[in-house]
Each structure stands twice: as structure tokens, then as C-alpha cells.
Structure 1
């Protein structure tokens, strides 16, 4: 399907593409944090999946969809000392360095307002776009919980563009040994009727080939058995955000002036 840039269909498709991004970080259940003991138990229970999965590394991706609510989780073992992970992910300014790695994120800054810290994100299209034309998604930064063997970070946004709301972003981590950390990233959001309709249109037309990583049917079935629809979109985009975190942690061994090269 091709759209002329002046047609109504073109602008509908553009809006749907932005909505797709807003539903992107999806896969990170914003439930209560496991806590240090609970996260270690989770690591033990996921040991078989961490050792054998389609990603070729110690990563487990889970997602869920309920009535106009999407959430999910990424659990992963990262090859970085806990102190480095905790120092990076407990700093809201460094979160901007992480989030800006996604092509659709045009701008990010840490801001202070009435004693509260915010992480303001501008999201837009993949091609070049002015910051002013991108949509605002403003997260409230909650004070992190930090100790020598546990980190918990939470961000929340009451409202987002295109009838989305109730965003919750959670990251927690525990050390496994001197050089490895077990990381849990959870993300969730709710969406209203307008967003629901727009996504159904998108996924029924130009986005119908978007699939995730979880097989819900035998190979050879439609989409080779991989989950499609909203959950498929969720899983694809969640993985992108996890990879942004991992790439940023990898970059910390490089001098600051060379990290974007």
C-alpha cells in the first residue's frame, strides 16, 4: 500500500506509526518490584529459559495484554558489575542517554519542578523531525532504592499522547558475581478507545506482518506461529529498549566523548 504525502491516508498512517512507538516500550510489567530476595528467586526459576532461548543469550522476554492495558517484562543477565549498573541506572540524566538511542525519540532532558524530578521525552517519526513537532511524554522520576546488593528504579507518567495513560517503568537489579548482574525491566501502559481503534486499523493493514518472539502456535502456522497483534508489537519494541540499556552499559567503558560514535 502506498500513500501520497498529501492524502488523508498518509496522515492516518503517520499518526498510527507514532502511536505504535508510544506502545513500544511495552514489555515491562509495572507491577511491584520483586525486591532483592524475590529477584534472586526469579533468576533461579528462569535458569532454564536464560540458558536456552531464541535470543542466543541470557534474556527472557514476557508480555501480556488485558483490556486496554499492555505490560511485560525483560529478565536478563548483563556482563557488567552491579556497581556500574546501579550507578548508571539510578541517574535520571543517564536515562536520557539510554532513551535517546531509539530512532523515534527526538529529545530527552531531566527537569526539576516543585521539588520533583522529571524525565521529559519527545517522541516522533523515524525520519528527521523538529523537537517541537514531536509529542511530549513526561515521566515523574521516583527516588531510587539503592543498596550494596539491590537497585530499584521507577518512573511514571499519568498521561501520554494519543489517548495513552498510566505509564509505569520499573528497573531492578541484583549482583550475581563480581562481573555479572541480573536485570529486570518492567513497562506498562493503558490506552483508551481512540488508541485501541487506531492500533486495530494499523495491525489490520500495513502493520499486519508485525510479530513478536513468543510462539503461540506450531511453526508453519500463520506468521510461523509467532505472536502477532498488540503483543507482537509489544515484544519487538520492548526488546529494542532492553538493547538500548545493554548498549549504553557497554558504552561506559569508552571515553564519554566517543560513546555516540
Structure 2
């Protein structure tokens, strides 16, 4: 037999065995190992960015990063909550609480949850900034799952196969780990794959109504030395991610109030937090936002009761 032929066959067998081993290892990797990797990565991110958390344009222990690659848009928001890890984890590992979190966003007109045999399903009712009844909105269903939950690390993922304008692979992630002093380091990320329909809509929007809308990433300075912020698609996803981050923070900040007063406190605090960044996040006057959200919350309660009684 030709020696070179024998060597080639041996290499093919070796490569096949290596590939098989990698696949088997990936398939049998324990959840503990995966969560440990996530915990280590998040802790490394915290250590590398301690200076950013102390000094940044937000004036809060908060910073973000975003990128756009091909059709994929992704943003990461990192911050510190002044609550013990156990408090954050016990609150946000409850799927129902996420509906009260995400519905603070002006475009989420309601949110409902239901338990499936092997998962939880959260339905977002998406619409315009102004008040809209649920029947006039677009519905996007997110699967909720707790990827990792242990003493020092929490990882939650909300994922949807499809979204508005034919977008795909929507994914919201929440991670948390404990810090000294009864604080918690948190990570909120959002990503999706764009579509031709959305790109056409964006082209028209960013050339007209959205022309002056910006995100938080500084791309340079103008002639007067003022910061120039990212616009377009990256600016839009940065704005939305920060809105969700402040929604989580507002939810946590109002948990100590009596249950009957939490909602009113929550919408007021969310508006106050976002009002600090008027250039990026202003959409509605305070009285309008509070009025719209009060009506939308009533709709959400009605929808959830209907699901609970089996009418949907």
C-alpha cells in the first residue's frame, strides 16, 4: 500500500475521532460546567470594567457595548444594583414578574405569561408609544428559561424565533452575580437578526422621524467639542436595552412598597430614571406616559385573568 495513502487514511481517522470527541463532550457537558463558565466570564467582565462603572456618561454604575455585524445587532448593558444577590435572583427568577418589568417599556402595551408542559411562555403585545388596546398590537411570544441558578450566579434567557417586520432570533439575557457589600453585578443583553422588510422600514424612518434619534455610544465630537452619539439601528437597540435595564431597576426599587401601590411607584420611577437621558430616551410627557401605562396595565390584568380562567 502507498505509504502516503496510509498516512492520509490515518489522519482522516484521527480527525474523525477528534471531531466525535468534541461533539460528545459538547453534548454531555453538565449544566454546572456551563454555568461556571458563564459566571467566570461575567466576573471577568466586572473586573476589567470597574473603572467604567465608576466613571461614565451615565453618572451611574452603568455602561454598555454594542455592535452590528451582517444582519445581527447586539447590545450589552452592565450595571450594579444595590441589592443582595439573593434578593435579585429570587425576584427575577419568577416568570410572572418579567411581564411587569417589560411592560414599563413604552412600546410594550401588555404582557401575559402561561406555563407550558416544559417551559414558560411570555407574550409581548407590541405597539406605538401612545396608548393602544391589545387587539391593535403585534404579538411576539418569548420562551422563558432559567439557564443557570445557583448560589452565586443567575442566567435567564427570553428567546423568540420571530418578531415584527420578519426579524428573527430575538434573544434577551439577564445575568447576575454577587458583589461585596450586599450589591449585585447585572448584565442585560438584547440581540436579533434583521430582515429586508425591517431594513426598508428603517431606511425611511431614520431618514425622517428617526433622523435625530441617537444611542449612547460616542463616535466622536462635533465642531464645538460636544459628543456625537451613534444613530441608526445600533442607536435604536441601545435605547431599548437601556429602557429594559431601567425597567428591571425600577421593579427592584419598588418591591418594598405595599403591593397595591407598587405599580404607581414603578411607572413613576421608570419615567424619572429615563428622563435623565432626555436626548436618547425622551418620547412622551410624564402625564401622558403615566396615563397610558395605567390604562395598559388594566388591560394586562384583564388579559392575564382570561388566560388564568382558560378563556384564551
Q: Shorter-chain TM-score category?
A: 0.7 to 0.9
Q: 1:50 aligns with which of 40, 53, 57?
A: 53
**Partners in 1 of 2:225 and 2:194 — Cα distance?**
27
Contact 1:92-1:110 at 8 Å conserved across structures: yes
1:84 aligns to what? 87
Structure 2 residue 183 is the aligned partner of structure 1 residue 180: yes
The normalised TM-score by structure 1 is 0.83
CA contact 2:111–2:124 (8 Å) conserved in 1: yes
Aligned equivalents of 1:246, 1:151: Cα separation in 2: 16
101, 107, 110: which one aligns with 1:107: 110
Alpha-carbon distance between aligned partners in 2 of 1:156 and 1:109, rounded to the nearest angstrom: 15
Q: Distance in 1 between the 2:146 and 2:57 partners?
A: 35
Residue 166 of structure 1 is matched in structure 2 by 169
Residues 222 and 194 (structure 1), Cα distance of their counterparts in 2 relative to 1, 3 Å cut? farther
Aligned residue pairs total 230
How big is the alpha-carbon RMSD for the aligned residues of Structure 1 and Structure 2? 1.8
SS state of the match for residue 244, structure 1?
helix
Query: Which runs of 5 or more residues in structure 2 are unaligned?
Result: 1-33, 265-312
Q: CA deviation at 1:103?
A: 2.0
Q: Distance in 2 between matches of 1:219 and 1:90?
A: 44
**3-state secondary structure, aligned to 1:216:** strand
Q: Which residue of 2 aligns with 1:150?
A: 153
Match of 2:136 in 1: 133
1:256 paired residue number:
259
The answer to whether the 8 A contact 2:67-2:74 is kept is: yes
Matched residues in 2 for 1:66 and 1:155: separation? Answer: 21
State how far apart, in whole Å, the 1-side matches of 2:225 and 2:128 are: 29
Supply the distance in 1 between the matched residues of 2:261 and 2:163 (Cα, whole angstroms). Answer: 33
Q: Structure 2-normalised TM-score? A: 0.70
Please state whether the residue corresponding to 2:100 is helix, strand or coil. helix
Identify if the C-alpha distance between structure 1 residues 174 and 104 changes in structure 2 by more than 3 Å, giving closer, same or farther. Answer: same
The answer as to whether partners of 1:68 and 1:196 remain within 8 angstroms in 2 is no
- Tell me if the contact between 2:83 and 2:182 (Cα under 8 Å) persists in the aligned partners: yes
8 Å CA contact 1:71, 1:187 repeated in 2:
yes
Work out whether residues 219 and 229 of structure 2, in 8 Å CA contact, stay in contact via their aligned partners in 1.
yes
Runs (4 or more) in structure 1 with deviation over 3 Å come to 219-224
Secondary structure in structure 2 of the residue aligned to 1:217: strand
Q: CA deviation at 1:123?
A: 0.7
> CA contact under 8 A between 1:90 and 1:144: conserved in structure 2?
no
Please list, as runs of the form range in 1=range in 2, the aligned pairs for 1:210-221 lying within 5 A after superposition.
210-220=213-223
Q: Distance in 2 between matches of 1:229 and 1:104?
A: 18
Q: Residue in 2 aligned with 1:40?
A: 43
**Structure (1 or 2) with the greater helix fraction:** 2
Structure 1 residue 226, shift from structure 2 partner: 1.2
Instruction: Identify the match of residue 243 of structure 2 among 240, 249, 254.
Output: 240
